[in-house]
């Protein structure tokens, strides 16, 4: 199985949360529109060096993959580690930017993204989200509470809601909204 090609990442200054959210949103547009999922983009950044460690988007990797899952799986492959041991290779403080709040439940039976983030351990210190997960597929997403209970900060990067939801729901039946 070939690894998806990585396009050059634009230079984004440290703490430019809007810049990283724009990058995540541009990644989300690469996901194929489908009525059964959201098109989401995600970026993992080393907070100390401002280096982008991984990017991902929904369905980037074969299977029913979510954006955050793609980031974690790509890093696990890079370091030849199981996702649950990824903290052994990651820097001390990693920020995760995701256009839509990480899922707390997968109808497909796959591991929810919030659980994958928690499995990485305390290396992911902050999760920046563009919008809370809409109730379309799963109501009452508990990701924020689970992350905060584990000591991970969750921050909303506002100003992108309309654009994120437009991209995220492309391919959904307009009558079901």
Residues, the chain = 177
* Catalytic residue check, 68: yes
Per-residue pLDDT of the chain (177 residues; tens, 9 = 90+): 444 455 667 789 998 999 999 999 999 999 999 988 899 999 999 999 999 999 999 999 998 899 999 999 999 999 999 877 898 999 999 999 999 999 988 777 789 999 999 999 889 999 999 998 766 656 666 889 999 999 999 999 999 999 999 999 998 875 444
Decide if 42 contacts 27 (C-beta within 8 A): yes
Report the pLDDT value the prediction gives residue 108, as an integer from 0 to 100. Answer: 75
Give the DSSP H or E segment for 42.
strand 41-46
Per-residue model confidence (pLDDT) at position 116: 94
Contact 17, 160 (CB under 8 A): no
Q: Are 177 and 41 in contact (CB under 8 A)?
A: no
d(CA 112, CA 133): 13
What class does CATH assign to 22-170? alpha beta
pTM of the predicted protein model: 0.90
Question: What pLDDT is stored for residue 177 in this prediction?
Answer: 40
Catalytic residue among 60, 68, 73, 133: 68
């Amino acid at each position: 199985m070939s690894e998806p090609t990585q396009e050059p990442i634009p230079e984004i200054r440290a703490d430019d949360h809007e810049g990283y959210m724009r990058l995540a949103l541009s990644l989300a547009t690469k996901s194929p529109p489908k009525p059964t999922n959201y098109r989401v983009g995600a970026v993992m950044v080393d907070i100390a060096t401002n280096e982008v460690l991984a990017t991902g988007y929904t369905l980037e990797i074969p299977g029913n993959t979510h954006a955050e899952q793609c980031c974690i799986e790509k890093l696990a492959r890079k370091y030849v580690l199981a996702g649950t041991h990824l903290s052994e290779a990651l820097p001390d403080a990693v920020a995760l930017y995701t256009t839509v709040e990480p899922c707390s439940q997968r109808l497909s039976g796959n591991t929810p993204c919030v659980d994958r983030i928690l499995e990485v351990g305390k290396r992911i210190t902050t999760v920046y989200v563009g919008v809370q997960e809409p109730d379309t597929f799963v109501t009452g997403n508990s990701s924020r509470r689970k992350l905060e209970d584990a000591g991970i900060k969750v921050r909303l990067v506002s100003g992108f809601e309309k654009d994120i939801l437009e991209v995220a729901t492309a391919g959904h039946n307009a009558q079901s909204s």
